[in-house]
Amino acid sequence: MKNILLTISYDGMPYSGWQRQPDAVTVQGEIERVLSGLCGFDVTVDGTSRTDAGVHALGQRATFSGDIKIPVCRICYAANNLLPESIRLLAAEEVPEGFHARYDSKGKTYIYKIIASDDVDPFMRDHYYFAGRGLDEASMRSAAKALEGTHDFKSFEASGSYERKTTVRTISRIDLKKKTAEAPSGKMLDELDIEVTGDGFLYNMVRIIAGTLTDVGKGKIGFGDMERIIEGKDRALAGHTAPPQGLYLKKIYY
């Protein structure tokens, strides 16, 4: 009996999200199909984060266990040969029995990638949010600062969310990183990455934070309004939900 922790990167665009579904192609479904074939029994993988359709991962984690005969050091190579190229196992390591990718997680980092342009590049549409020109970054940074710390983030939770005990979460850090992205045409585009680290996130929380910060950057919401939005505990007070294709699950902490 072995317990294996996987590190996984995937392009979320071709999939109906992480979670297995009977009639849709999902990341979990693809990985379970391939690992079941390799292991010779029905494998169930438990992922840390049930990413939505179109959301990407640079470092998703998942555990699976059983009487695994294939050497641990061969799992990635063997599985990557059978998986679609949009899903890559980056690492597989044996962990103690009982270790669980989701329940043992202490926190996560997400990146939300924005391009400050009105013209969608046809080659980058699936991996960035084209949010428009003229984002005021200084305002966005001020607003981001106000979201750091332990707060009730009910205003930043999608309606119709998963069952949860509390809507209080701790964001340890939000960084805005300015970069330049080169399109295949050679055109240089202004990229702004919002990197958010916290102990846990409510449903759609990072996308609502990214949408709200974008609205601040456009002057639709004041950069001083964050405290009022948090204290209101009302989804209607925050900004729009930024689209899934800009969101990347970067790292899980244990």
User: In this complex, which beta carbon is closest to a second copy, that of residue 27 or of residue 35?
Assistant: 27
User: Active site includes 119?
Assistant: no
Contact 47, 28 (CB under 8 A): yes
User: In this complex, which beta carbon is closest to a second copy, that of residue 113 or of residue 151?
Assistant: 113
**119: number of Cβ within 10 Å:** 11
User: In this complex, which beta carbon is closest to a second copy, that of residue 18 or of residue 153?
Assistant: 18
CB of 95 to a second copy, least distance (A): 23
**178: number of Cβ within 10 Å:** 10
Q: Give the distance from CA 23 to its chain's centroid.
A: 23
Catalytic residue selected from 42, 46, 52, 152: 52
CB of 143 to a second copy, least distance (A): 25
CB of 83 to a second copy, least distance (A): 9
CB of 159 to a second copy, least distance (A): 27
Q: How far apart are CA 134 and CA 151, in angstroms?
A: 30
Residues that bind a second copy (CB under 8 A): 9-11, 56, 58, 85-88, 113, 119-123, 125, 127, 181-182, 184-185, 248
**DSSP codes of every residue in 30-92:** HHHHHHHHHHTS----EES--PPTT-EEEEEEEEEEE---S-GGGHHHHHHHHS-TTEEEEEE
User: In this complex, which beta carbon is closest to a second copy, that of residue 154 or of residue 207?
Assistant: 207
Looking at the annotation, which residues are catalytic?
52
